[in-house]
């Protein structure tokens, strides 16, 4: 076998492909962040960030946020549309908005607003608290603020408050019954609203969010509702306010065909409404711009068959063609891309804290006196394997022998010790067959999965439910890769287990060459050395949808900026502490101070009874209090001994 190189690591983990160029591998086998893609002066080694955090006694897991990636994404989408508009001689601008539900973290929104300012990039809100966050940003006089989602009176009042301040706040009507209260409040507050209409699209999309369009969609107005809505709004004297036509056919549109079909349908509706005298000027095509999570560039659920440039080109070309045919002025184009803006910028870096393997701690299997024939037979199979190497025969025999061993144990014929010996020999046999198959020309379907029971589970210090909810909920594929040793051949086939007390808390599907793989090759753990792996593309939805399963709570966060003047290429601008045990307990209605008081009272009683020394009692009280204010995840020895 030729020597393992970083090219082999790239083939295996596909880092450049899924990361859209934001991550790569250094010659020294370190995983690098390249937030400015081609223009990265000094690449950032993730291990250097880990080392700096360890120096500052930061506990893992840590969310690493690369702010320059966010900036780059905002720039890219605006420049993609600008280029398409220039190319097709489209006669109106692009005015994108960022839907904050995708990641509402203040630092994330701050960065997007800053990066978007030169482009008049705006924000979108889908609930009252989101709108309150959005209204606190000054996005400039030309940017849009878009309100989607179901709205009550306060939501509408907040939107009109924004209008009072002179902002371009668009209230998108999702439901016919929102019209009357909106117009009444506008009259009451003496302010001109800007109204958008959400169309229920007929186009059928495919994928996980296909229910967002079609007749059964939750949001939007049917054609007759659109016509009735316009009539009602005009009759109330607000006809001038209808300015935007909106649709959203679902997230992660893997196939550009659906983008094209949806835009065609919407552009036609737009043009026909304009011809009926409705003063529309904005066409808002919602979200859906996908992320290539597995880097396969296909129409698979975790991928996409187009680029951001293709997307912009497709939208601009289709709208232009239909408006030109209909002889209607080109609308200002609005997108509400969220996933594509934030997914790349953050990753979760965690430490592998141990290994769970069936054959990790085997007992001795040397022949003993009075050994049961079933155990001896199993050992003989191992010897056969060394001689004739008919893997299929040996495997078949071993499998039925193992069944016999289990039956014999259940009937009380075999003891625990003999069961353990037979099983250990069986695992060894499987490993030997798996090793032999590596060089075999043909491997039967049966034998292809022989390794599954042999896969190690690497136990990782994180909660899947907090950091990658979609992996659990919708079997989303997220890229996983070690952040060092990429110049070294991995030697273990692993699945990943988290630290929650939930068997579902694991990752058992990974990016593969043709189809997904059920185990990921990783390196062996070395005592005394931390082995850190990254879970990538977590910046959209995953960062903010996590739940409190087992009360682990939010992660420590490092906000990282590029600094080409610094030899490491970065500086950590801010560190945000994750949840402490006291904080998560507080959310569940506990009062940490009272809890500490109760435990102290119990300890005092024990001391008074003479069962505990006073000195020891004080120490235990201090320890309990310290735990309330410390991190919920498992604490290191971060670089210390591995179990
Ligand atoms: C969720 C949502 C978005 C964001 O969709 P992405 O696919 O993440 O870009 C945009 N608009 C509306 C109305 C949404 O509900």
Listing DSSP states for 84-115 in one string gives: HHHHTT-SS-B--EEEGGG---HHHHHHHHHH
> How many CB atoms are located within 10 Å of the residue 314 CB?
17
- Closest by CA position to 471, among listed 356, 301, 296: 301
Nearest ligand 1 atom to the CA of 212 is 15
Percent helix, strand and coil across the chain, each to the nearest 5: 45, 15, 40
Give the residue, out of 287, 302, 470, 537, with the most ligand 1 atoms within 8 A of its beta carbon, to mutate for a pocket test. 287
Model pLDDT for residues 80-129, shown as the tens digit of each residue: 999 999 999 999 999 999 999 999 999 999 999 999 999 999 999 999 99
- Cβ pair 133, 111 in contact under 8 A: no
| Cα of 102 from ligand 1 centre, angstroms | 8
- Closest by CA position to 62, among listed 370, 316, 349: 349
Q: How far apart are CA 377 and CA 392, in angstroms?
A: 17
Q: Which residues line ligand 1 (CB under 6 A)?
A: 99, 101-102, 148, 248, 251, 286-289, 336-339
Minimal-distance CA residue to ligand 1 atom 10: 287
- pLDDT for the residue numbered 527: 85
| Cα of 250 from ligand 1 centre, angstroms | 7
| Cα of 297 from ligand 1 centre, angstroms | 21
If you count them, how many residues does the chain have?
Answer: 643
Give the residue, out of 288, 291, 301, with the most ligand 1 atoms within 8 A of its beta carbon, to mutate for a pocket test. 288
Nearest ligand 1 atom to the CA of 251 is 7
Minimal-distance CA residue to ligand 1 atom 14: 287
Architecture of the domain defined by 67-337: Alpha-Beta Barrel (3.20)
Residue ranges of the chain that CATH labels 1.20.58: 373-445
Residue ranges of the chain that CATH labels 3.20.20.10: 67-337
- Closest by CA position to 347, among listed 539, 611, 522: 539
Nearest ligand 1 atom to the CA of 336 is 10
Q: In 438-537, which ranges are continuous DSSP H helix?
A: 445-448, 464-467, 469-473
- pLDDT for the residue numbered 216: 65
- Cβ pair 551, 590 in contact under 8 A: no
| Cα of 338 from ligand 1 centre, angstroms | 6
Nearest ligand 1 atom to the CA of 252 is 7
Give the residue, out of 112, 201, 217, 251, with the most ligand 1 atoms within 8 A of its beta carbon, to mutate for a pocket test. 251
**What pTM was estimated for this model as a whole?**
0.92
Model pLDDT for residues 364-419, shown as the tens digit of each residue: 999 999 999 999 999 999 888 888 678 888 999 999 999 999 999 999 999 999 99
Nearest ligand 1 atom to the CA of 219 is 13
- pLDDT for the residue numbered 387: 81
| Cα of 336 from ligand 1 centre, angstroms | 6
Report residue 152 as tokens.
């009550």
Give the residue, out of 150, 209, 338, with the most ligand 1 atoms within 8 A of its beta carbon, to mutate for a pocket test. 338
- Cβ pair 66, 560 in contact under 8 A: yes
- pLDDT for the residue numbered 639: 41
Nearest ligand 1 atom to the CA of 337 is 9
Instruction: Answer whether the bond into residue 61 is a cis peptide, omega within 30°.
Output: yes
Nearest ligand 1 atom to the CA of 339 is 8
| Cα of 540 from ligand 1 centre, angstroms | 11
Q: Which fold has domain 373-445?
A: Methane Monooxygenase Hydroxylase; Chain G, domain 1 (1.20.58)
> Which residue ranges of the chain lie beneath pLDDT 50?
638-643
Q: How far apart are CA 523 and CA 494, in angstroms?
A: 9
Nearest ligand 1 atom to the CA of 198 is 13
- Cβ pair 193, 184 in contact under 8 A: no
| Cα of 333 from ligand 1 centre, angstroms | 16
């Amino acid at each position: 076998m030729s020597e393992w190189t970083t090219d082999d690591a790239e083939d295996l983990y596909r880092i450049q492909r899924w990361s859209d160029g934001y991550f790569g591998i250094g010659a020294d086998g370190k995983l690098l962040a390249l937030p400015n893609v081609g223009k990265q002066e000094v690449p950032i080694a993730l291990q250097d960030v880990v080392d700096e955090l360890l120096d500052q006694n930061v506990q893992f897991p840590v969310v690493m946020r690369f702010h320059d990636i966010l900036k780059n994404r905002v720039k890219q989408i605006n420049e993609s549309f600008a280029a398409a508009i220039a190319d097709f001689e489209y006669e109106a601008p692009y005015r994108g908005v960022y839907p904050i539900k995708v990641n509402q973290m203040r630092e994330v929104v701050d960065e997007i607003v800053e990066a978007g300012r030169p482009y008049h990039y705006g924000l979108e809100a889908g609930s009252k608290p989101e709108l309150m966050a959005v209204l606190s940003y000054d996005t400039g006089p030309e940017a849009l603020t878009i309100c989607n989602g179901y709205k009550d009176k306060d939501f509408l009042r907040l939107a009109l408050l924004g209008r009072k301040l002179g902002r371009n706040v668009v209230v998108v009507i999702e439901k016919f019954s929102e019209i009357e209260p909106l117009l009444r409040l506008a009259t009451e507050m003496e302010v001109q609203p800007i109204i958008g209409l959400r169309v229920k699209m007929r186009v059928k999309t495919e994928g996980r969010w296909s229910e967002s369009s079609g007749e059964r969609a939750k949001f939007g107005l049917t054609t007759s509702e659109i016509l009735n809505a316009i009539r009602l709004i005009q009759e109330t004297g607000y006809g001038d306010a209808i300015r935007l036509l909106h649709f959203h056919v679902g997230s992660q549109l893997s196939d550009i065909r659906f983008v094209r079909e949806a835009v065609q349908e919407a552009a036609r509706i737009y043009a026909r409404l304009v011809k009926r005298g409705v003063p529309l000027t904005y066409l808002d095509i919602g979200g859906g711009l996908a992320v290539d999570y597995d880097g396969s560039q296909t129409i698979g659920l975790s991928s996409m068959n187009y680029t951001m440039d293709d997307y912009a080109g497709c939208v601009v070309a289709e709208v232009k063609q239909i408006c030109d045919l209909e002889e209607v002025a080109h609308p200002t184009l609005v997108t509400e891309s969220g996933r594509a803006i934030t997914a790349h910028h953050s990753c979760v870096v965690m430490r592998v804290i141990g290994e769970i393997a069936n054959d990790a701690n085997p007992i001795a299997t040397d022949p003993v006196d009075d050994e049961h024939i079933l155990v001896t037979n199993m050992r003989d199979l191992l010897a056969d394997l060394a001689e004739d190497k008919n893997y299929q025969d040996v495997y078949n025999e071993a499998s039925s022998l193992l069944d016999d061993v289990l039956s014999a144990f259940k009937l009380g014929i075999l003891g625990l010790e003999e069961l353990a010996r037979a099983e250990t020999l069986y695992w060894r046999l499987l490993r030997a067959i798996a090793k032999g198959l590596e060089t075999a020309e043909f491997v039967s379907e049966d034998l292809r999965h022989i390794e599954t029971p042999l896969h190690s589970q690497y136990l990782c210090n994180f909660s899947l439910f907090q950091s990658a909810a979609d992996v659990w909920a919708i079997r989303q594929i997220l890229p996983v890769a070690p952040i060092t040793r990429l110049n070294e051949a991995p030697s273990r086939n692993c699945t990943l287990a988290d630290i929650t007390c939930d068997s579902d808390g694991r990752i058992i599907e990974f990016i593969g060459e043709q189809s997904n793989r059920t185990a990921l090759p990783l390196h062996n753990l070395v005592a005394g050395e931390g082995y850190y792996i990254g879970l990538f593309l977590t910046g959209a939805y995953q960062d903010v949808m996590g739940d409190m399963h087992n009360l682990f709570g939010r992660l420590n966060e490092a906000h990282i900026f590029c600094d080409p003047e610094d030899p490491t290429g970065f500086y950590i601008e801010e560190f945000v502490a994750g949840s402490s045990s006291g904080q998560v307990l507080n959310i569940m209605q506990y009062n940490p101070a009272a809890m500490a008081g109760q435990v102290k009272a119990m300890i005092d009683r024990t001391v008074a009874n003479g069962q505990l020394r006073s000195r020891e009692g004080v120490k235990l009280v201090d320890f309990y209090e310290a735990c309330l204010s410390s991190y919920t995840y498992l604490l290191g020895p971060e670089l210390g001994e591995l179990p």
